[in-house]
Amino acid sequence: MAINQWDPANPPIRPGLYTNFVNAAEGQITGGARGIVAIPLNTYTGGTATAKTFYTVSDETGAAELFGAANIQSIKFALQGGAKEVLVYTMPATPATADYVDMRNAFEARPFNVFVFDGEPSATERTNTVAWVVANRTERKHFMFVTGGTAADDANPATGNTRSAALLDDYVVNLITGVSIDGTDYSSGKYAAHIAGLIAGTAINRSITFTEVAVDDVTKRLRNSEIITALEAGSLVLVNDGEKVKIEQGITTAKTKIRSTRSRQAVATDVEKTARDNYIGKLDNNEDGQVALINAIKAYLETLEASNVLTDIVVELDTQNPSVGDTVFLTIAYREIDSMERIFLTINV
């Protein structure tokens, strides 16, 4: 996966640091924990919240006061999954297409890391959201989108796999398995909020593969062949192994590792923020200034290296693009560190 944020034939006009990541290694980079899940909330009667307004919540009590205890299941799922906080936008009572556009536009001005709907979105809004994710990536705003389907969808894994193909993107996660909790069934679309919280709350040097989820069972247990087919389709699958329910593998619809995607998002976001806050407009574009910038980026990446996120770091001036005037071109390379997910044993007796 490459994150292309500038075109040598058409360089950006705005002052800023533009990175162009080239996938130079087979391994996967670790995914990042930033902790904020974004949810457009459908219903909030019984609370104090008003329409088309942002609220940040970090506990269920505060969420219940704002939105009504009966309306916060998706928020509870996200927090229970591990999200540090949930950024909530209240939708109008009967939203039209324009209201969803307004919602997405409003979220663009707010920091968050994983986006998920409150319940089961329509196929149209899923498609529109993927397009939004892609557009934001081009504009250097990186976040993941987690979604799912209805209970009827979950009854046939082929339906979920078809949805994965339609939502193909490195930043999109499609859950195809519903769950049962305390006698209540939740579709994959409704339980997607828990997966969103889990992704947001997982450290950048950890994978969510084989992570146990606190549910009683899945609504449909898949056969081995169905699990393999789902993974090959880029679907996120929950499996009951006879003792617990766990995530079979943390992958996106593009069949890239969630761990890899999240770490690349972290690097793309953090390197630019560091440069913007401390270097852009503050350094001379000469050898000393360029060395200072390179060393700062190396220091950031070495912090990730110390946490087993990546290794073999190289940061240097791009020899293909001269750094003159007010423009600096750098190349960044490293080897990605993945989690052990497949262990093959040869036992000699």
Domain match, 292 and 319 both: yes
* pLDDT level of residue 20 (50, 70, 90 thresholds): low
Q: Residue 153: exposed, middle, or buried by beta-carbon count in 10 A (0-12, 13-18, 19+)? A: buried
Q: Residue 242: exposed, middle, or buried by beta-carbon count in 10 A (0-12, 13-18, 19+)? A: exposed
Domain match, 66 and 9 both: no
Domain match, 185 and 330 both: no
Task: Reduce the DSSP state of residue 251 to 3 states and report it.
Answer: strand
Domain match, 169 and 123 both: yes
Q: What's the total number of domains in the chain? A: 2
pLDDT digits over 154-187, tens only? 999 999 999 999 999 999 999 999 999 999 999 9
CATH of the domain at 225: 3.40.50
Query: Of all residues in the chain, what percent carry a pLDDT higher than 70?
Result: 89
Domain match, 195 and 123 both: yes
Domain match, 44 and 147 both: yes
Task: Reduce the DSSP state of residue 138 to 3 states and report it.
Answer: helix
pLDDT digits over 284-339, tens only? 999 999 998 888 888 888 888 888 888 899 999 999 999 999 999 998 888 887 76
Query: Where would I find the beta strands (DSSP E) of 91-149?
Result: 114-116, 144-147
Domain match, 84 and 206 both: yes
Tell how strand 245-247 and strand 212-213 pair up: antiparallel
Alpha carbon distance 144, 130 (integer Å)? 9
Domain match, 135 and 175 both: yes
Give the end of a domain, one of 256, 286, 313.
256
Handedness of CA 310, 314, 320, 323 (dihedral sign): positive
- Nearest to residue 266, comparing CAs of 209, 341, 199? 199
Does the pLDDT of residue 68 top 90, yes or no? yes
Domain match, 42 and 166 both: yes
Domain match, 41 and 90 both: yes
The boundaries of the domain holding residue 4 are 1-27+263-349
